[in-house]
Amino acid sequence: MDVYGLMGNPVEHSLSPPMHNAGFEALDIDATYGTFETHPDLLEAALRGASALGIAGVNVTVPFKQDVLSFVDPEEIATRIGAVNTIDFGTDPPTGYNTDAHGARRALEHHDAEIADSTAVVVGAGGAARAIGYMLADAGADPHIANRTEHRAVELADDIGGTAHPLSAVGSIIETADVLINATSVGMEEDASPVREEGLHEGLVVMDAVYSPLETRLLRDASAVGATTIDGSWMLLYQGVRAFEIWTERDPPVEAMRSALRTALAD
Ligand code: ATR
């Protein structure tokens, strides 16, 4: 049996085990996915141990996404983003991937959002925003980054060839934008939005990286003006779908994975 899992700290509330296990079951693959809570001081030992034990692959989450870069051979976009969220131990050295960028793109594509030549606003400048920002730039969008701590917006915008803004400017820049993505934690388990309602409009595609609750305040406000909304389960799903594809080299059973994820999110 092939063993996969999630390395991070904490990991106990992860939705990845039900999602990947449903995928293995749907394709009748003899594999299992669990969680590996890893002590922050033992990352290198954990990676060497995983490799030595024949673990097939892992996802990597907070706080290790940056630190694992030095222990793997990273794909090009993972190097540019500066973070790895998926490792394949089937190579020597193990290969590091960043499937967050791919996940964000597939989530938008699934909803027929046009990214090429779009004006796209990302709120946030942390790890999630970096992955999304590079994806938008690679896909030919004109990316705008707005962040509470403005110098972080400037750094990310410089890295991806986009434009930086203070968070207070979001309301006006979205008036002429096509896509708005929340890559902050604002709205997670709270009725708050990083964007005031005024600038939201019908022609906007609004995607939220927050998936708890699924209908965030931002998405509720966006729905109210007739905008297209994409909840956080889609990015979560498609980053997992991409990892599944890398590990198994099979066509991922997206519907089975999506259904398991929705069930786990409802629990
Ligand atoms: P992740 O890896 O999930 O992106 P992160 O690197 O900690 O997490 O980034 C969190 C993002 O949410 C940052 O852009 C952060 O803004 P700052 O750079 O100013 O810290 C943003 N964020 C978190 N809480 C926020 C709040 N209450 N208002 C606005 N932005 C917030």
At 84-124, the pLDDT tens digits run 999 999 999 999 999 999 999 999 999 999 999 999 999 99
Q: Is the CB of 210 under 6 A from ligand 1?
A: no
* Measured distance CA(74)–CA(86) in Å, rounded: 10
Ligand 1 pocket test, pick from 60, 130, 148 with the greatest ligand atom count within 8 Å of Cβ, gives: 148
DSSP 175: G
Tokens of 166: 């203070």
HSE at residue 148, side-chain half, CA atoms within 13 A, is 9
- Whether residue 7 lies in the annotated active site: no
Mean pLDDT of 114-137: 97
Q: Is the CB of 83 under 6 A from ligand 1?
A: no
Phi, psi of 53 (to 5 degrees): -85, -5
Q: Which of 24, 36, 61, 65 is catalytic?
A: 65
What pLDDT, on a 0 to 100 scale, did the predictor assign at position 267? 85
Listed as own residue / partner, the contacts of 94-98 with beta carbons closer than 8 Å and 24 or more positions apart are 94/47, 94/51, 96/68, 96/69, 96/71, 96/72, 97/242, 97/243, 97/246, 98/74, 98/131
Q: How confident is the model at residue 197 (pLDDT cuts 50, 70, 90)?
A: confident
Q: Whose CA is nearest to atom 12 of ligand 1?
A: 184
Distance from the CA of 150 to the center of ligand 1, in angstroms? 11
* Measured distance CA(58)–CA(39) in Å, rounded: 16
Q: How confident is the model at residue 125 (pLDDT cuts 50, 70, 90)?
A: very high
Q: Could you report the per-residue pLDDT of 142-195, keeping only the tens digit for each?
A: 999 999 999 999 999 999 999 999 999 999 999 999 999 999 999 999 999 999
Distance from the CA of 155 to the center of ligand 1, in angstroms? 14
Q: What is the pTM of this model?
A: 0.96
Query: Looking only at Cα atoms, what is the longest distance across the chain?
Result: 55
* Measured distance CA(234)–CA(214) in Å, rounded: 10
Q: Could you report the per-residue pLDDT of 215-255, keeping only the tens digit for each?
A: 999 999 999 999 999 999 999 999 999 999 999 999 999 99
